[in-house]
Amino acid sequence: MQVVTDQDFADEVLAEKGPVLVKFTADWCPPCRMIAPVLAEMAVEQAGRLKIVQLDVDRNPETQAAYGVLSMPTLMVFQGGEPVRSIVGARAKARLLRELDDLL
């Protein structure tokens, strides 16, 4: 899964034509580690339909603050440079795909 930073967030996420799922994460977050393999699988399966990236909030506080992210993990889907969906917490792959179905 690609890692993005405050410096390249605009290029890697906001400038993308298709949907981008950003996982706001932190090293100290157990649910973040739980959902990591789910997102890694989805990144392969949804390649070409959905770009999946992660941003470490401890190392990139500007982006976290700009989008008001307070809980980890927060999964935020951006489309056309705007956040269109926000999901807080880890969940099973099937549930996550259902929650994103209308965006894919």
Query: Annotated active-site positions, please?
Result: 29, 32
The 3-class SS string of 47-103 reads CCCCEEEEEECCCCHHHHHHCCCCCCCEEEEEECCEEEEEEECCCCHHHHHHHHHHH
For tokens 């926000």, what's the residue?
A: 86
